């Protein structure tokens, strides 16, 4: 027989269970009145209406199971409140820099804080099989991803890959492969050239608000605008990182290469934390020796080898088809493909285009080996062999030889 105290105990247990079941990132739990107080309505910050849910998106159990929160709306609202001081006149009292930051926070408050994570599927493995044929030199990477997909399918958990570093000489198609892999996975690609990037903070964490021209991090902004919590982020030519004299770009990379840091990456400009741990980071490099040990240690390094033999001929045929098909010309024969196959993938395409010019100049739409030889001669020519304009090569001196 139940007593009143038993009923009270059961009611309390049910209530505790309900609180435990409520996800802390539930949009209903992120109502502004739970995180801030302001003059006037608790549902307004500086004239911005704050809804009870997140961007009007209805979240069901399936969506929650296959999605993750990449930032906390409560933190966004708090930063807006600190800037607006609870006024309804928005940014009248703010400086130009603070106004820009407020508008960026306001934009962020309209974006969905939840993004779908990536689960492995059988069609992905089928597409990977075709990618393996198209990019034979990357078989080790393709196999690694295939095993990760198989594990995701078996366990029903999100696809997980360690940060990858594709190392090898230039011209093998490392960047092309990274983007092709993203296409197979069906996720966006965000690629940045480290050789031309002069601001590592802008790329990863954003600038502190004290900096002139401060802005939100490119990575965090890309994640917010992405349709997935698991985009492929390509750090191209990471061994050529160009940066300011006093900056430590490789130290900044630790914010995303360390799992614990990636789960709570602070955007220095917005002062809001982001979860970038579900993104797939792929770096490319020609020379590993210039990278700090602590960076090499945080990547799974995969050596990319140039294809040889039948693999190289098959790859040459694919490159030739990509170049020739849009032109409506016939595919070259095996002897021409064999002549082209002596080069790396990048040079194959270059030589082929030059060879087509030789054939066209003679009124032919079919390539012959002599066209490839002539094109190869041009492609191999060194600029120093002929003076350009008024510049002449400087004669070597005895001091130079020493």
Other Cβ atoms less than 10 A from the Cβ of 195: the count is 12
How far, in Å, CA of 111 to CA of 223, rounded? Answer: 11
Whether 260 and 200 share a structural domain: yes
Q: What is the distance of C-alpha 229 from the center of its chain? A: 11
Number of domains in the chain: 3
Predicted pLDDT at 76: 95
Distance CA(239)–CA(289), nearest Å, equals: 9
Q: Which of 40-49, 94-103, 255-264, 294-303 shows the lowest mean pLDDT across its residues?
A: 40-49
Question: Are residues 138 and 225 located together in one domain of the fold?
Answer: yes
| DSSP bridge pairs for 272 | 267
Q: Is 4 contained in some domain?
A: no
pLDDT score recorded for residue 88: 56
Note the pTM of the prediction, 2 decimals: 0.71
Q: What is the pLDDT of residue 52?
A: 34
Could you tell me the pLDDT band of residue 9, with boundaries at 50, 70 and 90?
Answer: very low
Q: Which residue has the tokens 């306001």?
A: 106
Find the range with the poorest average confidence among 43-52, 136-145, 311-320: 43-52
Q: Which of 59-73, 76-90, 273-287 has the lowest mean pLDDT?
A: 59-73
Q: How many CA atoms does the CB half-sphere of 241 hold within 13 Å?
A: 24
Per-residue pLDDT, 252: 87
Same domain, residue pair 45 and 67: yes
- Examine the domain organization and report whether 126 and 92 are in the same domain: no
Check residue 242 and give its pLDDT: 66
Report pLDDT for 91.
59
Question: Contacts by 296-299 with C-beta closer than 8 Å and gap 24+?
Answer: 296/165, 298/163, 298/254, 298/257, 298/258, 299/162, 299/163, 299/164, 299/165, 299/257
Q: Decide: 250 and 300 in contact? Cβ < 8 Å.
A: no
pLDDT-based confidence at residue 87 (cuts at 50, 70, 90): low
pLDDT, average across residues 155-165 = 95
Residues 198 and 95 in one domain: no
Q: Which of 134-143, 176-185, 340-349, 374-383 has the least mean pLDDT? A: 374-383
Residue 101, SS3 per DSSP: helix
Give the pLDDT of residue 125: 95
Q: What is the pLDDT of residues 286-328, one digit of tens each?
A: 999 989 999 999 999 999 988 778 888 888 888 888 899 999 9
Whether 186 and 221 share a structural domain: yes
Share of the chain above pLDDT 90, in %: 44
**How large is the average pLDDT for residues 102-123?**
94
Rounded to whole angstroms, how far apart are CA atoms 125 and 179?
16
194 and 329: one domain?
no
What average pLDDT does the segment 39-64 reach?
Answer: 40
**Which has more confidence, 398 or 328?**
328
Q: Residue 28's closest CA among 49, 48, 58, 61?
A: 58
Same domain for 126 and 75?
no
Q: Are residues 167 and 244 in the same domain?
A: yes
For 377, half-sphere exposure in the C-beta direction (CA atoms, 13 angstrom radius) is: 6
Longest CA–CA span in the chain (Å) reads 108
CATH number assigned to the domain comprising residue 315 = 1.10.8.60
pLDDT tens across 240-271, in order?
886 555 566 788 899 999 888 999 999 999 99
Domain range holding 163?
122-303
Is 126 in the same domain as 217?
Answer: yes
CA–CA distance, 30 with 74 (Å, rounded to integer) = 6
Residue 1 domain-assigned (yes or no) = no
């Amino acid at each position: 027989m139940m007593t009143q105290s038993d009923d009270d105990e059961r009611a309390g247990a049910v209530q505790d269970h309900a609180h435990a079941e409520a996800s802390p990132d539930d949009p209903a739990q992120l109502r502004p009145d739970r995180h801030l107080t302001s003059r006037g309505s608790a549902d307004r910050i500086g004239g911005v209406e704050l809804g009870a849910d997140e961007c009007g998106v209805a979240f069901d159990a399936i969506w929650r199971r296959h999605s993750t929160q990449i930032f906390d709306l409560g933190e966004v609202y708090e930063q807006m409140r600190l800037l607006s001081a609870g006024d309804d006149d928005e940014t009248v009292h703010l400086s130009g820099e603070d106004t820009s930051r407020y508008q960026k926070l306001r934009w962020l408050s309209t974006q969905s804080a939840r993004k779908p994570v990536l689960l492995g599927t059988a069609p992905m493995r089928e597409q990977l099989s075709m990618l393996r044929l198209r990019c034979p030199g990357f078989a080790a990477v393709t196999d690694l991803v295939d095993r990760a997909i198989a594990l995701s399918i078996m366990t029903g958990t999100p696809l997980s890959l360690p940060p990858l570093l594709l190392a090898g000489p230039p011209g093998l198609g490392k960047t092309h492969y990274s983007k092709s892999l993203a296409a197979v996975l069906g996720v966006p690609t965000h690629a940045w050239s480290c050789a031309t990037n002069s601001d590592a903070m802008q790329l990863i964490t954003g600038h502190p608000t004290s900096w002139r021209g401060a802005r939100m991090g490119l990575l965090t902004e890309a994640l917010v605008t992405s349709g997935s919590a698991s985009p492929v982020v390509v750090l191209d030519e990471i061994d050529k990182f160009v940066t300011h004299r006093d900056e430590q770009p490789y130290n900044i990379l630790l914010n995303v290469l360390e799992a614990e840091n990636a789960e709570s990456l602070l955007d220095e400009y917005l002062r809001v934390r982001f979860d970038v741990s579900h993104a797939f980071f792929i770096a490319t490099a020609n020379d590993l020796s210039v990278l700090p040990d602590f960076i090499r240690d945080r990547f799974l390094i995969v050596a990319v080898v140039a294809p040889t033999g039948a693999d190289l001929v098959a790859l040459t045929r694919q490159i030739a088809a990509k170049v020739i098909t849009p032109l409506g010309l016939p595919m070259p024969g095996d002897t021409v493909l064999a002549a082209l196959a002596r080069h790396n993938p990048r040079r194959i395409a270059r030589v082929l285009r030059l060879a087509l010019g030789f054939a066209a100049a003679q009124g032919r739409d079919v390539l012959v080996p002599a066209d490839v030889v002539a094109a190869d001669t041009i492609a191999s020519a060194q600029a120093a062999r002929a003076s350009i304009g008024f510049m002449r090569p400087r004669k070597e001196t005895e001091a130079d030889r020493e």
